Amino acid sequence: MAAAAAASTPIVSVPEAPFAVGPSAIDAETAQRILSRALARGGDFADLFFEYRRSASIAMEDGRVRTVGGGIDMGMGVRVVVGSAVGYAYSESLEVDDLMEAADTAAQIANAGKATKVGLPKRKRPKSRYPVESEVVDMEGKKRVALLRRADKAARKASRKIKRVDCSLVSVHKEILVVSSTGAMAYDQQPMMRIGVSAVAKKGKRTEAGSS
């Protein structure tokens, strides 16, 4: 029972996104101000979507590492809905003035002349659906290369006809914060990874390829 309980505990839980922790963290009051600005000209609904992505990638071609990459992307999108019409704007900066400017842009879709009132959002943390002990994006480069070599070896082991194998590994640490004018405010972390393998088989003059 203890082991089962430990396995269900979300170990990846320390926020790193600037909108979740630190001087640029978005609290309920700041979110309320931005949403109120977005609905200053009226509207049925508005929401904010903050996203932070830290990624790492490795590609191996026929047993050799060819490309290694990584980066950090972050921004906020604001949406205003009026009937069937939607206004949208985006900001890569978390400076409040820039977020307000994005809200003003999205608000242009509305022209009711009367602001829609926005209450103070209430923060909630969804249940963890994907607890992990460690994230692939944080693994040492040599360990991620070792995963690709295992995939390469497994593909070649399937048949002597396999003449070429290409593998890729993309891993991402993602954090999101969603706030709506209905009062919902939810933060979540999403550790993700994708491994892809393609193989080329030859027999005589016939060549075929497959991927997974």
pLDDT tens per residue, range 40-64:
999 999 999 999 999 999 999 999 9
Q: Look at residue 10 in the predicted model and tell me its pLDDT.
A: 46
> 156-195 in b/e burial notation, b at 16+ Cβ within 10 A?
beeeeebebbbbbbbbbbbbbbbbbbeeebebebebebeb
Q: How far is CA 59 from the centre of its chain?
A: 21
Give the position of tokens 């693994």. Answer: 139
Q: How far apart are CA 84 and CA 96, in angstroms?
A: 29
Q: Is 89 left (phi over 0), alpha (psi -120 to 50) or beta?
A: beta
Beta bridge partners of 68: 58
Least confident of 74-83, 131-140, 144-153, 189-198: 131-140
Mean pLDDT of 105-127: 87
Q: Look at residue 75 in the predicted model and tell me its pLDDT.
A: 97
Q: How far apart are CA 17 and CA 23, in angstroms?
A: 11
Q: Look at residue 133 in the predicted model and tell me its pLDDT.
A: 83
* Closest residue by Cα to residue 53 from 142, 170, 144, 134: 170
Mean pLDDT of 108-127: 86
3-class secondary structure, 87: strand
Q: Look at residue 44 in the predicted model and tell me its pLDDT.
A: 94
